[in-house]
Amino acid sequence: MTITGSWQRTARGAGLLGTDGRIASTIFAEMSALAVSTGAINLGQGFPDEDGPAVVLEAAREAIADGLNQYPPAIGMPVLRQAVAEHQRRFYGLEVDADREVLVTAGATEALAATILALVDEGDEVLTFEPFYDAYGGLISLARGVHKTVPLRLPGFVPDHDELRAAVTDRTRLILVNNPHNPTGSVLPKETLELIVELAERHDAVIVTDEVYEHLVFDGVPVVPVATLPGARERTVTISSAGKTFSTTGWKTGWIVSTPELVTAILAVKQFLTFVNGAPFQPAVALGLGLGDDFYSGIAATLQGKRDLLSEGLRAAGFEVTVPKGTYFVVADAAALGYDDGAAFCRELPSLAGVVGVPISAFCHPRLAGEYSSLVRFAFCKKTEVLERAAAQLAGLAVSAA
């Protein structure tokens, strides 16, 4: 039997299919397997190795004990929708109607999937920055959209405004923003976001903004949610998730905030993807969203310390480091150590230093991968002692390069 279907489009988009048509492993799976087989410290995958707030975890256990174990409403439980609306008001001054403008999803991933499938028709263009979170490419392919990108350039991983202007046309259906940005850790300047809103208005595009790292920002850098900018609200789909904020990436509880019309269109697709999700997690995440300011400043400060620890270690090892303004990730340039091919370097790094990273080229189309070829992403959402050990092991690279 020959099995054909849209899986082939995603598989090719994600580089899963080898030239012989067989499933090849992604660099992410390959690196994680390498970490296991060599016992190296896995700074490749972006998940925390410590639990989030105990009260949030306890609330989920209580919800199960209390019998919240059947299908919740498709749009999400009122307690979580209200908490999301209150969160947008408290942090950003946005007034949100919890009954019509919030949709609970199976993580930010389903929010992205339902949004893209709902709004993109065959041949519509979707613009993202590049490098991009890998799911974007696969989801745009599933929707038979055309993926256009604008590069984030060094220093600082910021886009060139002329390139951005040139990339948005009347064919652009969605402008998909990720801020703070995975994999580069950059936070987009307000002027760039304002330009995105201006271009979206001019070309009647919808802005989809993935803000899952909204609370994980450093050095007092403000994150400006796109929806707070003049003219943006009515054409913006804001996506976030509990996974990164509460160190609960396995809960897959996310949400969309948008206009009633856009929420309805996205719900129409979401109902046939998962219908509903994660009943006992919803009141727990609602409780988390209501935690005090000390919790929110605390997670950012703790993560900033971890960023500094790993960045220092990478610099001492001889890498050129772009200090991230947000997220779980730091990008290091291995060219300074004499390596131009980040993917080859990542394959060697477990034996060289007992550490695993992911090449930035894995977040790029082949056309642009060359520009980023010596860059490697490392995750610092790990225990302090793990990062200290990684830094000490990486220091050996400087010795062997000297």
Residues that bind ligand PLP (CB under 6 A): 107-109, 133, 178, 182, 210, 212, 241, 243, 249, 252, 254
Q: How far is the CB of 212 from ligand PLP (least distance, A)?
A: 5
Least Å distance between CB 355 and ligand PLP? 21
CA distance 392 to 178: 32
State the nearest-atom distance from the C-beta of 160 to ligand PLP, in Å.
Answer: 22
Which two structure tokens, joined as six digits, stand for 50?
Answer: 């410590």
For ligand PLP, which residue has the nearest CB? 107
Choice between 151 and 243, CB closer to ligand PLP: 243
3-state secondary structure of 216: coil
Question: Minimum distance between the CB of residue 393 and ligand PLP, rounded to whole angstroms?
Answer: 26
Shorter beta-carbon distance to ligand PLP: residue 132 or 339: 132
CA distances from 151 to 147, 184, 201, 218, 300 (A): 13, 12, 22, 23, 27
Q: How many CB atoms lie within 10 A of CB 151?
A: 18
Query: From the centroid of its chain, how far is CA 273?
Result: 20
Residue 211 to residues 79, 226, 255, 270: CA-CA distances in angstroms?
21, 9, 11, 19
Cα distance between residue 212 and residue 242, in whole Å: 8
The Cα–Cα gap between 76 and 103 comes to 6
Q: Which is nearer to ligand PLP, 238 or 393 (CB)?
A: 238
Least distance to ligand PLP from the beta carbon of 116, Å?
A: 12
Residue whose CB is less far from ligand PLP, 319 or 329: 329
Q: Which is nearer to ligand PLP, 209 or 322 (CB)?
A: 209
Least distance between ligand PLP and beta carbon 389 (Å): 25
Q: Which is nearer to ligand PLP, 10 or 182 (CB)?
A: 182
Angle (nearest 5°) at CA 181 between 275 and 279: 25
Least distance between ligand PLP and beta carbon 288 (Å): 13
Q: Which is nearer to ligand PLP, 254 or 350 (CB)?
A: 254
- The answer to whether residues 164 and 143 touch, using CB atoms and an 8 Å cutoff, is no
Q: Least distance to ligand PLP from the beta carbon of 100, Å? A: 23
Half-sphere exposure of 73 (CA within 13 A, CB side): 12
Sequence-distant (≥ 6) Cβ neighbours of residue 180 within 8 angstroms = 186, 187, 211, 213, 214, 216, 217, 223, 324, 325, 326, 327
Which CB, 87 or 317, lies closer to ligand PLP?
87
Q: How far is the CB of 240 from ligand PLP (least distance, A)?
A: 8
User: Which of 381/397 has CB closer to ligand PLP?
Assistant: 381
Q: At residue 172, what is the residue type?
A: T
Q: How far apart are CA 310 and CA 79, in angstroms?
A: 38
Q: 112 or 317: whose CB is closer to ligand PLP? A: 112
Comparing CA positions, the residue from 249, 257, 235, 290 lying closest to residue 119 is 235
Collapsing DSSP to helix, strand or coil, 364 comes out as: coil
Q: H/E element holding 85?
A: helix 78-92
Q: What's the min distance (Å) between Cβ of 2 and ligand PLP?
A: 32
